[in-house]
Amino acid sequence: MTQNFGSKRTVVGAHYGLRDWLAQRITAVLMAIFTVALVVQVLLPGPMGYARWSGIFGHQWMKMLTFVTIIALLYHVWVGMRDVIMDYVKPVGIKLVLQVGVIVWLVGCAGWAIQVLWRL
Amino acid sequence: MSETTTKQRPGTMRLIDAVGQSMPPAAWVSILHRFSGIIMFLLLPFIIWVFDRSLESDLGYQYIADVFAGGIGPVRGWFFKLVALALIWSYLHHFIAGVRHLWMDATHSVSKEFGRVSALVTLGLSIVLTLALGYKLFF
């Protein structure tokens, strides 16, 4: 068996990157569903105001969909920003700081958004 | 290896390099897909803040409406509308370019012709919808 651990770990080849490639697509589809659901509800006839706006996010099914969207967005943005950082930042130290920064930032933003959602 | 003079490879294309080249529409769609993603990432706190205040209470909702109308302090309302417009374009382009990706994945449409036509549709549709929504936003 080839050694595939530590410094000899294979980082190119089959299945590598497949998970994130697929995750981008799946999270995109989930967010598209949310977008359609939101746009349809916003475009329904009648004036828009706080009552209607908060009413949209008051339904439990919409809260669930929004929550799924927030988590999907978290992963989608992470893969996207990680790719951007990987392409343009070569020094490993700076790359690590930026990537950790992005994750921490995104997790914080997700928490904030979830807090907003479940206040209702 | 022969002793030919090899041109120095340009390396990774930076965002700033992209605009200096003569690029086919598919190349524009691609780099703008990345660029629009970055814009939305940077404006994420703004999005969540609007989400937060507008859902907080009737007063919060009104506050957000006022921000887009009258602004906050020295920052005028139209500036916030411009930011919203940038977000609208970013989301539309990113979404449509993303759907283009999904279409190519599902139907294996990898011909140059499809690439060109779908790229033009992406650019055109996102700009047209941005203008339409922008009109609603400003007027």
For A78, the closest chain B residue by CA position comes to: B41
Chain A residues touching B44 at Cβ < 8 A: 77, 109
Chain B interface disruption, residue of A29, A38, A50, most B CBs within 10 A:
A50
pLDDT at position A17: 81
Question: Does any domain span residue A2?
Answer: no
Q: Is B32 helix (H, G, I), strand (E, B) or coil?
A: helix
- pLDDT > 70: what percent of chain A? 92
Q: What is the mean pLDDT of residues B117-127?
A: 97
Q: How confident is the model over B28-60, as pLDDT tens digits? A: 999 999 999 999 999 999 999 999 999 999 999
Does the structure show a pLDDT above 90 at B106? yes
pLDDT at position A18: 86
pLDDT at position B40: 97
B13: DSSP letter: P
Domain carrying residue A106:
20-117
The answer to whether A29 and A73 have CB atoms below 8 angstroms apart is no
Question: Does any domain span residue A13?
Answer: no
The total number of structural domains in chain A stands at: 1
Chain B residues touching A87 at Cβ < 8 A: 12
For B97, the closest chain A residue by CA position comes to: A28
Question: Does any domain span residue A26?
Answer: yes
Q: Which residue has the tokens 């130290």?
A: A93
For B57, the closest chain A residue by CA position comes to: A50
Of B44, B61, B105, the CB nearest to A109: B44
Interatomic CA distance for residues A108 and A91, integer angstroms: 26
Residue B15: which pLDDT band, with cuts at 50, 70 and 90?
Answer: low
Cβ pairs A/B, distance under 8 A: 54
CATH topology (fold) of B24-138? 3 helical TM bundles of succinate and fumarate reductases (1.20.1300)
Chain B interface disruption, residue of A18, A29, A54, A98, most B CBs within 10 A:
A54
Cβ contacts of B26-30, under 8 Å, gap ≥ 24: B26/B115, B26/B116, B26/B118, B26/B119, B28/B119, B28/B123, B29/B93, B29/B97, B29/B100, B29/B119, B29/B122, B29/B123, B30/B97
pLDDT at position A94: 95
CATH number of the domain enclosing A52? 1.20.1300.10
Distances, alpha carbon B34 to alpha carbons A16, A77, A103, B72, B117, in Å: 22, 11, 18, 31, 20
The answer to whether B80 and B63 have CB atoms below 8 angstroms apart is no
Which run of H or of E encompasses A79?
A: helix A60-88
Residue A16: which pLDDT band, with cuts at 50, 70 and 90?
Answer: low
Residue B23: which pLDDT band, with cuts at 50, 70 and 90?
Answer: confident
The answer to whether B97 and B122 have CB atoms below 8 angstroms apart is yes
> What ipTM was reported for this prediction?
0.86
Question: Does any domain span residue A27?
Answer: yes
Burial of B109 (0-12, 13-18, 19+ CB in 10 A): middle
Q: Which residues pair with B72 in a beta bridge?
A: B75
Does the structure show a pLDDT above 60 at B132? yes
A12 touching B (Cβ < 8 Å): no
Question: Does any domain span residue A5?
Answer: no
CB–CB of B55 and A119 under 8 A?
yes
Question: Does any domain span residue A10?
Answer: no
Tally the C-alpha atoms within 13 A of residue A22's C-alpha that lie toward its C-beta: 5
Q: What is the mean pLDDT of residues B92-107?
A: 96
For B103, the closest chain A residue by CA position comes to: A25
Of A49, A84, A116, the CB nearest to B55: A116
pLDDT at position B3: 52
Q: How confident is the model over A56-114, as pLDDT tens digits? A: 999 999 999 999 999 999 999 999 999 999 888 989 999 999 999 999 999 999 999 99
Interatomic CA distance for residues B113 and B106, integer angstroms: 17
Worst-scoring range by mean pLDDT, A14-23, A44-53, A62-71, B21-30? A14-23
Does the structure show a pLDDT above 90 at B19? no
Interatomic CA distance for residues A84 and B112, integer angstroms: 25
